[in-house]
Amino acid sequence: MRGSEQTSAPWRVGVLFSQSGFMAVIEETQLRGTLTAIDEINAAGGINGRPIEPVIYDPGSEARAFGRCAKKLMIEDGVTTMFGCYTSSSRRAVLPVVERLNGLLWYPTLYEGFEFSPNVIYTGAAPNQNSVELCRLLMEMYGRRFFFIGSDYVYPRESNRIMRELVANSGGEVVGERYVRLSADRSEFQPLLREVKAAQPDVIFSTVVGDSTIFLYQTYHDMGFDPKVMPIASLTTTEAEIQAMGFDVGEGHVTAAPYFQGIDGARNSSFVQLYKKRYGEDQSTNMCLEAAYFQVHVFAKTLAETNSLDTEILRNTVMGSEYDAPQGNISVNPVCGHTDLWTRIGKANRQGQFDLVYESPSRVKADPYLIGYARNLAYA
């Protein structure tokens, strides 16, 4: 224990997830994962005899509000470490705040990669941990013609740029690419899916997020498309969105993620039981919730060692740290500040869960700039 300060005062941390607005469908589960971990740690005696105290704000699904809340946390509340953000727009709104004021953001969401900040620990999947394997599998199972549908902000456009290159390098073709408002309603997907029908792709690759995800899949279902022939494949559609849209609507569609509730293992079983005991038997875990949960435990493990919330000390100590997460053993990669995670691809079933169709043999090293992929391509 490095710190020498003797006090019983709580360790105060910031928590920034939307509890209202169109992103609450998934961010509410990340908040739950965060609080579940904090309560678990506090019930075991806290960190070095001191409880973790969350200071929680609801940015209401508005990207700029995340930046304002982060500033309030650091300047008014005196918080230096925070857990939060789902969209890349919200992360980018918080980024200049934590960089300028030297805070530390723990970001538990998959994203488009091609970013590094000394003030962020990235615990969601980078493109080499989901997109690369998903593209390969979709081509093998369904075909080479892709139609992209995304929400109109940073993450979908950048993820589609990456997927377009992956498809092209594998001899495939993107036959359409369309974007909808972040808060798009159901009516906006009807003309879009008529366009899909005319283009006759083999796969729809969706980077739609939030409530609009539900409307996309429901419209697809209502128009009589068959996921056995032309599924919607996604990096963002989790058990939470499947529950909201209806299990019958989600059945047969494909998601790439480090974690699904149904994976085997005693660690995951205990995690799922803990979550359901707290929130109800009908509530499912998901990849975003799991990352929000395990990153608090990684933080706690580091804090126990350092006994300090100083950003430099925490960040330097957490590099290379390992943790037995529900998805399997993970590690914070010291080269890039991203997390070495598992790659899995699942197909949604009638129970609202995912049946695995692919699982990496071990955790996959984070490569947010796809350097390894480019190197392999050059030697191919």
Q: How far apart are CA 29 and CA 289, in angstroms?
A: 5
pLDDT of residue 377: 72
366: left (phi over 0), alpha (psi -120 to 50) or beta: beta
Q: What is the CA radius of gyration of the chain?
A: 20
> From first to last of its 380 residues, what are the pLDDT tens digits of the chain?
454 456 889 999 999 999 999 999 999 999 999 999 999 999 999 999 999 999 999 999 999 999 999 999 999 999 999 999 999 999 999 999 999 999 999 999 999 999 999 999 999 999 999 999 999 999 999 999 999 999 999 999 999 999 999 999 999 999 999 999 999 999 999 999 999 999 999 999 999 999 999 999 999 999 999 999 999 999 999 999 999 999 999 999 999 999 999 999 999 999 999 999 999 999 999 999 999 999 999 999 999 999 999 999 999 999 999 999 999 999 999 999 999 999 999 999 999 999 999 999 999 999 999 999 888 876 65
pLDDT of residue 4: 42
Q: How far apart are CA 163 and CA 128, in angstroms?
A: 11
Q: How far apart are CA 31 and CA 108, in angstroms?
A: 11
pLDDT tens digits for range 210-257: 999 999 999 999 999 999 999 999 999 999 999 999 999 999 999 999
Backbone angles phi, psi at 176, to 5 degrees: -175, 150
Whole-model pTM: value is 0.95
pLDDT of residue 374: 83
Number of neighbouring beta carbons within 10 Å of residue 380? 6
Q: Do residues 174 and 161 make contact, with C-beta atoms less than 8 angstroms apart?
A: no
Number of neighbouring beta carbons within 10 Å of residue 358? 17
pLDDT of residue 378: 63
